[in-house]
Amino acid sequence: MTLQGWLLILAFAAILIAITKPFGMGLYAIMEGRRTWLHPVLGPVERGFYKLSGIDPNAEQSWMRFGVHMLLFNVAGLFLTYTILRLQFYLPLNPFGFAGLAPHLAWNTAVSFATNTNWQSYGGESTMSQFSQMVGLTIHNFTSAATGIALAFAFIRGFARKEAVGLGNFWADVTRVTLYLLLPACLVYAVILLAAGVPQTFNGSVIASTLEGAKQTIVLGPVASQEAIKMVGTNGGGIFNANSAHPFENPNALTNLLQMLSIFSIGAGLTWTFGKAVGNTRQGWAIFSAMLALFLVGTAVTYAAESAGNPIHHAIGIVGGNMEGKDVRFGVAASSLFAVVTTDASCGAVNAMHDSFTAIGGMIPLFDMQLGEVIFGGVGAGLYGMLLFVILAVFVAGLMVGRTPEYVGKKIEGREVKLAVLAIAVLPLIILVFTGIAAVSKDGLAGLANQGPHGFTEILYAFTSAVGNNGSAFAGLTASTPFYDGLLGVAMWLGRYFVIVPMLAIAGSLAAKRRVPESAGSFPTTGLLWVALLIGVILILGGLTFLPSLALGPIADHIAMIHGQTF
């Protein structure tokens, strides 16, 4: 570990704190439908969209109607993308003449991008045409991100409103998020990336001469535009197989820092938006503090593990930190930080290969995903994932001290607690069941690059990433098979929508309740004690569920490494 590495981590945390309120203010204005400085230009576009589609943006939707419209929108997008990928050979902007994707790969990719997972069982530069990248995948990056933020808005309204039936309008939320947040932010971001050297072109490739005089084909494409929404929308699916380790996606240390900040920016801002909406910004800062504490601890452990390196290497004279699978442009510190950021959020972009991390260094990103995206999380998903744990923490606090379980003026009763438990239990149930199926099946074991506990971790990581809608991978697993494409596709779909439905039901239940004035019997939910309790509930209820599987995987792998055992 170095002073420079710790300064990078602290600088990242300081900038994140500084941008949280500005992002939160903008998100609050969008949620409330308030006029912004972009309205003179984009207001007519928004109104034109409503007129053409016959949508009344002021028509409130119940939680069930909100959810049905959301599902129909995402299913339609899935089938559109599947069709594009299957017919890729016949569509324009295909300079290399790539064939259409196989049914199992098209299914996996369509589900992946529809659910904001962006798991990639393919090498983008050798599989996808420019048309597929732009129309099939990049558009999904916008719509899936906008869907997540709209869902967070609905959950926030559930806490903020009193004796209400509606949670807002899904179509209006998605439209406003896209027009006033994602498109402008990504336009500016793409220009910055262009200035840094990221290509944006319809040229398929260029021929370069190497130092040895050989000719090399270098693939190009509309990279900057996809890279921008890939990071802002916490999507993670890049044009190149190496993702953000590729110099065309992530040219230098400045873009690397910008990418990490863009992953967390909206998730952090939504915590302030929540506090503002419920009338007490301290509530939002308390949630932010719990997220930040978990993030910093995870980063410190990962950085320490990667800096310590591998004792097996040390024994043969290779000293220093673990640089396997890392780009020398970024080193141990920036790679460790990026790994924690991308797995805390449901992003999945990588600037290093997680399969090459040390056992403990790789376990932290895995464990972060198993917590359910609660540490800033994906756009929208992080906040509503954290609020599910908040409901349980308030209930547990009430049981411990004999006080009424209330949160921001709403009584937390049996219905909300049961639905929160259901939503939280979805992740471990699907992850562990599907991991078990793959770990004992012939087709599942055929994809392993490693044996022993590391091989088991590859499978566990894959299904954790899929169900958690993250998209990063232990790259040693060969997942481009009908078995894994099919099963991972199902896991991504269940992990996304089987959490959303009970979450919306909770929001509808809370919105219908009247607000209860705070009293001496109310448990305080803004101080350090509350933050500590919330973190404890997350780690106990969200984390200990996976302890046996972690013991079989990364923990056993670490013990084997200490004793010099290889597989």
Tell the burial category of 202 from Cβ atoms under 10 Å away from its Cβ (0-12, 13-18, 19+).
exposed
DSSP label at residue 356: G
Q: Which two tokens stand for residue 159?
A: 């806490």
Give the model's pLDDT for residue 518. Answer: 74
* Nearest by Cα to 200 from 245, 116, 133: 133
* Nearest by Cα to 121 from 447, 411, 366: 447
- Which pTM does this prediction carry? 0.94
Question: What is the Cα–Cα distance from 118 to 346, expressed in whole angstroms?
Answer: 9
Instruction: Give the contacts of 180 (CB within 8 A, at least 6 positions apart).
Output: 30, 36, 38, 39, 42
Length of the chain equals 567
**Per-position pLDDT tens, the chain of length 567:** 899 999 999 999 999 999 999 999 999 999 999 988 999 999 999 999 999 999 999 999 999 999 999 999 999 999 999 999 999 999 999 999 999 999 999 999 999 999 999 999 898 888 999 999 999 999 989 999 999 999 999 999 999 999 899 999 999 999 999 999 999 999 999 999 999 999 999 988 888 888 888 888 888 989 999 999 999 999 988 899 899 999 999 999 999 999 999 999 999 999 999 999 999 999 999 999 999 999 999 999 999 999 998 888 888 888 888 999 999 999 999 999 999 999 998 888 999 999 999 999 999 999 999 988 788 887 888 899 999 999 999 998 888 777 778 899 889 988 999 999 999 998 999 999 999 999 999 999 998 888 899 999 999 999 999 999 898 888 788 888 999 999 999 999 999 999 999 999 999 999 999 988 877 667 888 999 999 999 999 998 877 889 999 999 999 999 998 888 877
Q: Which two tokens stand for residue 537?
A: 């509930």
